[in-house]
Structure 1
Amino acid sequence: MLPNIRLLFFLLMIPGILFAQQKELSQKKTYTATRIDRKPVIDGVLDDAVWDNIPLATNFVMYEPGDGNPSRNTHTTKVQIAYTDEAIYLAAYLYDEEPSNIRREFAQRDNLPTADYFFFDLNTYNDGENQTRFYVTAAGTLADAKMKRENEDFAFNVVWEARVSMDEQGWYVEMEIPYSALRFPNSKEQLWSMQLGRHISFLNETYVWNYINKSLGASTHYNGLLKGVRDIDAPVRLSFYPYVSGEVNYYKEETTTAFNAGMDFKYGIDDAFTLDATLIPDFGQTAYDEVELNLGPFEQTFGENRAFFTEGTELFTKGDLFYSRRIGDTPIGFNQAQDARLENEDIVENPETTNLLNALKISGRTENGLGIGFFNAITEKQKARYYNKLTGESRELVTEPLANYNIFVLDQQFDQKSSVSLINTNVTREGHFRDGNVTGFLFDVYNANSSFNFFGEAKMSRVNYPTSNKTGFASKLGFSRTKGKFRYGVSHDFANKTYDINDLGLNFINNYNNFLWETSYRIFEPRGVFNRYNISLFGDHQRRYDPDVAVTTSFGFSFFGMTRDRFAFGGSAGYSTPFKDFFEPRRDNSFIEYPENASAEVWISSDYRRRIALDSRLGYNKYLGTDHGKLNFSFSPRFRVSNKFMLIYSFEYRAENDRESFVTLLPKNVIFGTRDMRSIENSLQGSYNFNNREALSLSFRNFWSSADFARNDFSRLLNNGSLVAYNYEVNKENDPNANFNIWNLDLSYQWRFAPGSELILLYRNSIFKIDKLSELNYTESLDNLFSQPARHNLSLRIVYYLDYNTIKNTI
């Protein structure tokens, strides 16, 4: 029955795709770049002779908060574009009759403060989908990002240069973007698309060169055309990033040292395709993970902090099949190693992470819009080591064999806004271990005038065990209206009970058959006190696929608004019918039924242009007819002490009362208990920017959480999802209570001493404690934490950027 419904749904979509009205989104502007024989000096002072006779891109129009209004006469913007065989160059004249109002807050690379800025969007394939954005602030901070419609990925980093200057008429930008930072078709004459923009912080206004119709499609569909770039004899795209690092650790009165050296490199296979590789990687200075007390049925997930796995990975994230933290993750046999300990044995060593030996990725896009990507990584074998105290014998157990991770992607883009993709991921482990293979087909299609978006996925997983195999399937199908103030969308998500992508991807749940819908109303021009607002209604109906069981139905609404004074606020409210949780019991085909619940949340965010600003959020969730409730409150003031010094403090409090929670599995019963939980998190982020290339940064976090189960209030789970009292005896070994406290402090000095090159000196201080003392309050737990030995780490890392062409010209 279900496949027939999908086929009917898809057939109904076809007329909208094939017969939608053919018309242009807007009248695209065109600019013709000028070839120059001599590059300008990149100093921000636009007095080079090369700029004298180059045409101007002018007549900017408002993007926010208005809709296409001409730019103010007091804030005219003009841009010139030129090119050589090595790079493309921009000169931007950002006039301001009151230059004292130009915001010039300092920040480091890829951090955009509340400052005036200029941006240049470049799409070298003119496909309406993938483009690169280059930012320069009035203080000279650089930022670059890969864009996918409205989303910006600042993990993308390339080597380019820009400088700014300022006088009584405004401020100016001079940019050099080498072709080594770009990928483009191998053709005699390039046809690129571009957007130019300017943000004026004092006025809270943004202007763009080519008009963007915010009520239709996505902003990346509205680039103008950049012509004239032809006969480029592009240089060899080969660059090296060698590094050296050293560290000193002090823990429990023991000092250890380590030294590492290695290299990343990039090679342009041709104008469009690039090879990135990391040899002997070093991730010693990556940011700490925000670890919490996790009593739920699912693993805690963390963001990716390793640059190699975030830069240039947009092709590999298609279909959400790539969770990069799987590479170098905890060995798959880590927990089994604990259970494999024999009598009289001690575990001498059981590694919690897997070492990455090397990794590479090849990606690019052909002239016809076909994106091709290949990713490979190899991790080292890991072993647990045991020592028998009675016999003196030692033995080893392999917990993670040598493993090979691969991704292959084909992504065909068409009509400057649509795409179909095919992706395969596979993990092969040496010997008789688990292997995984997943293949996904995806489409993301707009109709001709971008008023509707149709999307879908079909994904097949296969897991090979030493003695058996498991094949699974998942799909997604939906459409949304992407035009006008009133919008809506529906979708269907499906997965059978054997769908599993966790070798290289991440899925917590399977065996679902869910239906989702949403509708919203928004404004695109200021109205009354609002610059913009958005009101949304949404809902879903969740079911199990096998057996076909209703899980829950929920609906709610949300509101977002921003005033003309840049004060933002909003909130949401929702209601859910009784919820059958099939995962909290940790036993197949068992569920606990939680009662219906209602939730509400409100938040505010004040104007970041002011020296003191505030973000705050308050939410409450109540399970009706019970004492079970959840409260969360956060408070985060930010202090701009000066244009160079910023402090952000954050406090969060969470409390949950009388939750029926999993305790343990017995041979015939699943035991639950009534749990109260409290969490407090304090964090501080600070930065002092000596300039845009040197900064001192502080990052601190303390997280405490306590889980307290009521004594003599345990129960066992019945087949119908209800609970009945059970006499469960608690002792020192099986006590479910927990008190968790962690402290992390990072203090770093960063110096970008040359393009692409940097030095980082980092001091780290960390303490961790988990025990059963749930009766301790926050301050008592903190005292208990400080009784533990602290781990101190001091490390120095130097990376130097080497360009092949520079080396060749120097020799």
Structure 2
Amino acid sequence: MMRIFLLTNLAIIVFVAGTKAQSLNYTLSDDSLVNYHASQKKIYYATRTELKPRIDGELDDLCWEEIGTWQGDFIQQQPNQAKEPSQQTKLKILYDDTYLYMGIICYDDEPEKIRSILGRRDENMGDMAGIALDSYFDKQSAFEFNVTAAGQKVDLMHLGEYGWDFNWDAVWDGKASVGDSAWYVEMRVPFSQLRYANKEEHIWGMHVWRWIDRLKEEDQWKLIPVDAPAMVYIFGELHGIKDIPYKRNFELLPYAKSKYVSGAEKNPTAGFGLDGKIGVTSDFTLDYTINPDFGQVEADPSVLNLTSYEVFYDEKRPFFLEGNSILEYEAGSDLLFYSRRIGAAPGYYPDYGMDETLTMPDQTSILNALKLTGKNRSGLSLGVINSMTARENAIITSDNQERKEAVEPFTNFFIGRVKQDFNNGSTVLGGMVTSTIRNIKDAHLEYLPESSLVSGLDFQHNWLNRKYFVDFKGFYSKVSGSEEAISLLQLDSRHYFQRSDAGHLSFNENLTSMQGWGGELKGGKRSGKFRLVGSLDWRSPGVELNDVGYLRQADYVTQKLSSVYWVSKPKGILNSYYFELDQRQNWSYGGENLGGDLMGHVRLQFKNLWKLDLVADRSFYEVDTRKLWGGPSLRIDGEISGEVFLQTNSSKDLFFAGGVELMKNDDKVSSGNYYTFYVQWQIGSRFTLSSMNKLNVVTDNNQYVTRTILNDATNYIVGKIDRKTISSTLRAEFFVTPELSFQYYGNPYASVGKYSDYRIVADSKSTNIDQRFLPLFVRNFDSGESWLYTATDNPVLNLSSRNPDFNFQEFRSNFVARWEYKTGSTIYFVWTNTRSRYEQFYEPSVFQSLKGLNKVTAENAFMLKVSFWFSI
């Protein structure tokens, strides 16, 4: 009944929102000028040229002077929407059989104020200009090419409404130069880097824009209003491209590397591999990699995780990032495809003796991977990945003897995704299948599932020019393996089938498979000043995605309602302002009420380009099904929190941002103070320093400690933890040219924790905290041991041997010298430094703990990698 009620309620919200629309004409705002510019169809006609420009950013070639048409008539999008721009801009587009050439003139009556700043590729720095091309003409996706005033390239893909994929890196040329009254952009994009239908004459969607950093002003050739529900379908059009000869694209990127690791038995090591692309058709591309290496990738941030939830890390490896938008299937916080599962560190650690040394592989070797992606003229999108990872062995040595033990089996991963657009992308129907198959030959690895299969469907429909929408995702999973493997899955923190107070759950040690399903239904109004979106998210207890996906937790139903009031028109001292009110309610899949919360958010952007965020959140109580790590669910009293975050004008050379969040629990013990401070200093046009610093001071009165057997029953022990954590992310970047750079990343991290006020969980869901827990008492003995005792004088836990206090420090850093010596070809020199220490004692000062890193021996690794790109 609960599910039927929620689904009906959500359907009513979507239906009422849709039926209240009074007209089929798309009204973007009350400003008729905005409506006029947004509704005008704008067309640019490209001109074929036999004269090839030299790409140097000067725009002084004969073709720019004599061929084609310079077109201006840009309009301001922000901060003063639909007004005349403060500076004029012109564009010209030429083409030949192989390339598309684009020139942009960005006039400026104060050229000394043009912000010409070098930064990393795909980083928006200073003044910029660029073009986006919907070469599929599906009104949903586009390829964008931008150049900063300093000449750095920024390319990306547009995905859906307001999604962007900055990880897509095409091979193209772009240069910029600054003159006395303007700065200039010159680009050359091979048609091989685009995806388009194979026909005689083309019509593409086109968006050209310019960013004036000091004014935070965006000017556009065809206005896309700031409150539009999507971008690509409002693009202007590019006509005139005819008779492009189809050429099957074939790119190769071989690499060679040498690596030295301090303390390693074999130094140095060498390796090689190959990446490549094959244009199967003009619509579809096959990417492949053999023996890939990702040594230049930035290290993950340090985390000391005291929860039962898996820490989510972003993907950073190029092969699994570039062009992977088609493979995305996200439902709530979960993913059907989480590419970091491929090549992850082995999960099995062998037993070894005191006189033995264990050497574990850092990651599972990827033998090869194939990726087919693309979209045809009929709106059919296809994405496929197949990857094989090697059987890995740990090496155990003693007295000059060596033995190997398998820690990861040979595994094959398959991911397939398909989507079909209808009605110019207003309706999308899709599906996805993932499969993991392990070749398990060792009995000790039978704790791993032998196979998993996940299938999903998704449907999205937009109406009234995408102002209203409904979005559905549903998926099913089945995992098979030994009784041990399925038992471990049931006991895993994502499922906890052993939870004693859950009537809808039961642990079965004889199962050899587990299955379940989940999904998300979302809909509402997502454009205009007032927006309202409702959603329902659910996971059955047996759903499992983690072989090649990401599942944070199963066994829940969550309902959300979000309302937003957003005004983008300047008023008084404000450029824009934003109000949001969210409501959320949670249940277990068996109907247990797990609590809910209300959240309010105000964002103000001032005319001096400062921003202020104010957030308040109130939860009335929570029933946490994961807090006791497989034990009964635990009631957590309600809490109230507030956050203030302020940032200065980011276009200045010195930029600050900082905030504080304060939380207080109704139990009057648990609390949290979270402090954030960020600074960025632009020193000239080539050198940037930045630092993100965080300090968390947290008291948790319900921190899980352990479980123990007392009077033939399992008892769960919690305590009060006082924890302090400090972390800093330091970056220094120096650019000699856009192609030659030196970058440093450092992440010092320290966390200290002290436990006290130990208690046994009694009535875990009682509203009375004194009935929820029974106190434990510490006794110290002359022998130096400390024990926990109950009030009835029963010993419970030896704190001397299981002291939960901790003092953890870690430092991770990368130094990368990068030289793109030829378009698409790169030389990397990488120095990685890592040091880490965990101790079972409490250090009162987290700053003193951080200083302890100086006493830790570092592991250093040095790598030289050379790649060479060429096309056949």
Q: Do these two structures clear the TM 0.5 threshold for a shared fold by scoring above it?
A: yes
Question: What is the match of residue 813 of structure 2?
Answer: 745
Question: What is the match of residue 277 of structure 1?
Answer: 288
Question: What is the match of residue 236 of structure 2?
Answer: 224
One-letter amino acid matched to 1:622? K
Residues of 2 paired with 1:706 and 1:411: CA distance?
48
Question: What is the match of residue 463 of structure 1?
Answer: 479
- Secondary structure at the aligned position of 1:759 is classed as strand
One-letter amino acid matched to 1:420? L
Is 1:61 the equivalent of 2:90? Answer: no
Per-residue CA distance 1:567-608 (angstroms, 9 max, x = gap): 1111200100111111121115x1111101001001011112
Residues of 1 paired with 2:398 and 2:90: CA distance?
77
Equivalent residues of 1:744, 1:764 under 8 A apart: yes
The 3 A distance-change label for structure 1 pair 730 and 28 is farther
Is 1:690 the equivalent of 2:706? Answer: no
Equivalent residues of 1:672, 1:717 under 8 A apart: no
One-letter amino acid matched to 2:407? T
Equivalent residues of 1:116, 1:201 under 8 A apart: yes
Q: 1:595 aligns with which of 637, 646, 667?
A: 637
Question: What is the match of residue 386 of structure 2?
Answer: 376
Question: What is the match of residue 492 of structure 2?
Answer: none
Alignment of 1:205-224 (within 5 A): 205-224=217-236
Equivalent residues of 2:214, 2:652 under 8 A apart: no
The 3 A distance-change label for structure 1 pair 345 and 411 is farther
Alignment of 1:408-487 (within 5 A): 408-418=416-426, 419-431=428-440, 433-434=448-449, 435-467=451-483, 468-487=512-531
Give the deviation of 1:57 after TM superposition. Answer: 2.9
Equivalent residues of 1:251, 1:790 under 8 A apart: no
Is 1:333 the equivalent of 2:348? Answer: yes
Residues of 2 paired with 1:284 and 1:527: CA distance?
50
Per-residue CA distance 1:470-510 (angstroms, 9 max, x = gap): 11111111212123211111111111111111111111111
Is 1:608 the equivalent of 2:617? Answer: no
One-letter amino acid matched to 1:448? L
- Secondary structure at the aligned position of 2:797 is classed as coil
Identity across the alignment (%): 25
Question: What is the match of residue 789 of structure 1?
Answer: 857
Per-residue CA distance 1:742-797 (angstroms, 9 max, x = gap): 11232222111111111111222221111112235334434543222111222111
Alignment of 1:371-410 (within 5 A): 371-384=381-394, 397-410=405-418
Per-residue CA distance 1:372-431 (angstroms, 9 max, x = gap): 111011111123456799xx9987654321111111111112333432210111111113
Unpaired runs of 5+ in structure 2? 27-37, 441-445, 484-511, 767-771, 777-788, 790-795
Alignment of 1:364-763 (within 5 A): 364-384=374-394, 397-418=405-426, 419-431=428-440, 433-434=448-449, 435-467=451-483, 468-546=512-590, 548-587=591-630, 590-667=632-709, 668-710=714-756, 713-720=758-765, 722-726=772-776, 727=789, 728-763=796-831
Give the deviation of 1:512 after TM superposition. Answer: 0.8
- Secondary structure at the aligned position of 1:100 is classed as helix
Residues of 1 paired with 2:193 and 2:25: CA distance?
34
One-letter amino acid matched to 2:435? N
Question: What is the match of residue 499 of structure 2?
Answer: none
Residues of 2 paired with 1:747 and 1:359: CA distance?
28
Question: What is the match of residue 133 of structure 2?
Answer: 122
Per-residue CA distance 1:178-210 (angstroms, 9 max, x = gap): 012111112222221010001111222111111
Give the deviation of 1:658 after TM superposition. Answer: 4.2
Give the deviation of 1:331 after TM superposition. Answer: 2.6
Unpaired runs of 5+ in structure 1? 805-811
Equivalent residues of 2:6, 2:536 under 8 A apart: no
Give the deviation of 1:256 after TM superposition. Answer: 2.5
- The TM-score, its normalising length taken from structure 2, stands at 0.87
Per-residue CA distance 1:226-245 (angstroms, 9 max, x = gap): 11212210333111111111
Question: What is the match of residue 241 of structure 1?
Answer: 253
Per-residue CA distance 1:211-250 (angstroms, 9 max, x = gap): 2133332122210011121221033311111111112222
Alignment of 1:18-167 (within 5 A): 22-23=24-25, 26-51=39-64, 52-72=66-86, 75-113=87-125, 115-148=126-159, 149-167=161-179
One-letter amino acid matched to 1:381? R
Question: What is the match of residue 184 of structure 1?
Answer: 196
Equivalent residues of 2:759, 2:773 under 8 A apart: no
One-letter amino acid matched to 1:620? L
Give the deviation of 1:169 after TM superposition. Answer: 2.3
After the TM superposition, which of the residue ranges 414-423 and 265-274 deviates more from structure 2?
414-423
- Secondary structure at the aligned position of 1:46 is classed as coil
Equivalent residues of 1:161, 1:755 under 8 A apart: yes
After the TM superposition, which of the residue ranges 660-669 and 734-743 deviates more from structure 2?
660-669
Residues of 2 paired with 1:17 and 1:720: CA distance?
42
Equivalent residues of 1:108, 1:693 under 8 A apart: no
Per-residue CA distance 1:530-574 (angstroms, 9 max, x = gap): 11121101010111112x111011002001111111111112001
Residues of 2 paired with 1:620 and 1:15: CA distance?
38
Equivalent residues of 1:532, 1:562 under 8 A apart: yes
- Secondary structure at the aligned position of 1:218 is classed as coil
Give the deviation of 1:609 after TM superposition. Answer: 2.0
Residues of 2 paired with 1:620 and 1:295: CA distance?
20
Give the deviation of 1:165 after TM superposition. Answer: 2.4
Residues of 2 paired with 1:753 and 1:573: CA distance?
51
Question: What is the match of residue 489 of structure 2?
Answer: none
One-letter amino acid matched to 2:337? F
Give the deviation of 1:350 after TM superposition. Answer: 4.2
- Secondary structure at the aligned position of 1:596 is classed as strand
- Secondary structure at the aligned position of 2:340 is classed as helix
Per-residue CA distance 1:658-704 (angstroms, 9 max, x = gap): 43211123351222122111101123211111121112212111000
- The TM-score, its normalising length taken from structure 1, stands at 0.93
One-letter amino acid matched to 1:426? S
Equivalent residues of 2:89, 2:107 under 8 A apart: yes
Residues of 2 paired with 1:241 and 1:313: CA distance?
19
Residues of 1 paired with 2:363 and 2:683: CA distance?
41
Equivalent residues of 1:592, 1:717 under 8 A apart: no
Q: 2:367 aligns with which of 357, 360, 365?
A: 357
Is 1:322 the equivalent of 2:337? Answer: yes
Residues of 2 paired with 1:380 and 1:18: CA distance?
56
Residues of 2 paired with 1:794 and 1:144: CA distance?
30
Question: What is the match of residue 809 of structure 1?
Answer: none
Residues of 1 paired with 2:325 and 2:77: CA distance?
26
Residues of 1 paired with 2:284 and 2:142: CA distance?
15
RMSD: 2.4
The 3 A distance-change label for structure 1 pair 76 and 344 is closer
